[in-house]
A and B are shown apart, each in its own frame.
Chain A
Amino acid sequence: MPRSRLWDLLTYAVLVILSAVCILPILWTLLTSLKYEADIVTREMIYWPTRITFDHYVTLWNQSNYPVLVVNSLVVTTVTVAICLVTGTVASYAFARFRFPGRMPLMMGYLVVRMFPAVMMIIPLFVVMRQVGLLDSRVGLAIAYTSFLLPLFVWMMKGFFDAAPKELESAARIDGSTRLGAMVRIVMPIARNGVLATCIFVAIAAWNEFLFALMLTTSQGSRTWPVGLQLMVGEFQLPWGMLAAGGIISILPVIVLFALIQRAMVAGIAAGAVKG
């Protein structure tokens, strides 16, 4: 066998093993969520159930506050993305297109901010949010999320703007367009995929976030699903089947979004991290 064939074989072996290690825990959780409780709690492990049920999903959805938690998470995620989109896009555009005094220090500032420990932020944020009445509110939590997601958004988005050609913009300017006009009508459509990828990355991060939400929400009205799920485990000894069902419901949107825009998102994350 020629040597390159051997390497191809080895490569596939590595890829198959790693993919299996990554995917099997998710599949096992999916399988658990579809098993009857009697098939989960057994003396002899049942690997492939002979019967399946959607009871865990139905019970979780109808008899717990999971729908409320999911709606809260959706609201927090949407508001977070909206804030990042509005404030972050223009900031990253400024960094990508203009050279001005203070540019480097400001960019470095956005980078250093990412190193601040979450715990160090959460404790004072709790006190500050309580003072201004934003504690235990979905908007307050979204604002808190921007503390680590906005810098991320700016760096990632800057990479996409850097990659967008400048010539069309110059042409529009020569044709009498203002800088604002060129930005809105020329650059934004070109960078559309980048904006989408960055927004999805931020959305996934906000949707998944646990620590800030645990500290900054205290009631049903604003609690997000990761906190709710964790509390259900602690308080009601949530059965494995329902816990697995909750996990699957919650990661479904993440998996779908990730699979759809994986390439652009991965490129953006790499660019944002490496240039820093």
Chain B
Amino acid sequence: MIGELSETRYWMYLLLLPSLLLITAVVLYPTIYGIQMSFREMRLNRPDLGTGFVGLKHYQRMLNDPIFWLSLRNTAVWVTFAIILEFLIGLIAALALHRNLPGSRIFAVMILLPFFLPNVVAGHMWSLMLDPRLGVINDLLLKAGLIDSYRAWFADPATAMAAAILVEAWKSFPFFTLLILAGLKGIPTDLYKAASIDGAGPVAQLRLITLPMIKTIIAAAVILRVIGLVNSPDLLLVLTSGGPGRSTMVLSLFAFQTAYRDFNFGYASALSVVMFILLMIFAWIYIRLSRINQE
């Protein structure tokens, strides 16, 4: 019976139907609901306030909320430095793996592994290693003479963000490695042969052949990673909870805590809507600048 159905010209739509229904139910409907919620009062711990329409109240509050502006600034720092580190390490790792020397496969497994580890465990691994009393990193740095006493990396506002960015870079640089490696496989080897005949050294080859050839992939990887970095507060939630003194509070974490801890769903929704819009604007500008749509 379904066999016959598969011969009709609506077959592909039937194949798509289950997933479309699901996406509508778990993505589209909640999104619209969430946007609508950002214009309403909704505090789970204050049912007496009701869920009435409050217009732009939450958005106005945001403009005057110093935590919002601080989180916005922190998000910019967090994303910028994490992306730069992840891209550079990811590129170096990909170039090294791409040379396909004996043993590359086992190196690839080890280098790509952190990306597949849970944030909760990655966070605690590094909390353990960076612990102010028992941390092995403190001990190593002390023995190497780089610090003169154990430091509380995550408790000091001066170092908390930097430490968190390093952990994030450790966890996610393999994403760049993975995508760049796929891009490198697509470059015809003739190009390098021709270039070396013309006398181009490795650095010139990287600049003139490799990077231009994988430009599109790099652009795609950057966009996907920026989205990931802006959207997911998991790692910061485990490492610092935004502290000390909100020095690592980013927008996604602020929005999540507004909902999870303060039960202020209306304000939290407004924060995430703004976050989403800013992300869209960024993606649009970035795609225009990098011109990935022209290729």
Contact = CB atoms under 8 A, between A and B. Distances in A.
A259 to B, nearest CB: 6
A121 to B, nearest CB: 6
Contacts of B131: 240
Contact of A273 (B15, B37, B224): B224
Contacts of B103: 15
B279 A90 contact: no
Interface string B206-229: 000000000011001100100100
Interface residues of A, number: 95
Contact of B129 (A25, A144, A230, A262): A25
A73 B118 CA distance: 13
B231 A15 contact: no
B22 A150 contact: yes
Interface of B is mostly: helix
Contacts of B268: 119, 123
B117 A94 contact: no
A120 B128 contact: no
Contacts of A183: 6
Interface residues of B, number: 96
A222 B279 CA distance: 33
B147 interface: no
Interface string A24-47: 011011001000000011100101
Contact of A271 (B182, B252, B265): B182
Given A25-B126, A267-B182, A119 B107 contact: no
B273 interface: yes
A126 B34 CA distance: 10
Interface of A is mostly: helix
Interface in B17-38: 18-20, 22-23, 26-27, 29-31, 33-34, 37
B272 A123 contact: yes
A273 B269 contact: no
A196 B276 CA distance: 33
Contact of B121 (A94, A109, A251): A251
B125 interface: yes
Interface string A7-20: 11001101110110
Interface in B139-181: 139, 170, 174, 178-179, 181
The 10 A-B residue pairs with the shortest CB-CB distance in the complex, in nearest-first order = A270-B182, A208-B118, A180-B6, A120-B272, A124-B30, A124-B34, A94-B15, A179-B6, A87-B18, A91-B19
27 contacts: A15-B103, A18-B93, A18-B107, A22-B113, A25-B125, A28-B136, A29-B128, A87-B19, A90-B15, A98-B12, A117-B276, A119-B271, A120-B31, A120-B275, A121-B26, A123-B259, A127-B42, A150-B23, A178-B3, A210-B120, A211-B237, A229-B124, A244-B124, A255-B113, A262-B112, A266-B178, A276-B220
Given A122-B259, A262-B109, 16 more contacts: A15-B111, A18-B96, A22-B114, A23-B113, A25-B170, A45-B136, A94-B16, A121-B34, A123-B34, A127-B265, A147-B27, A150-B22, A150-B23, A226-B119, A243-B128, A266-B181
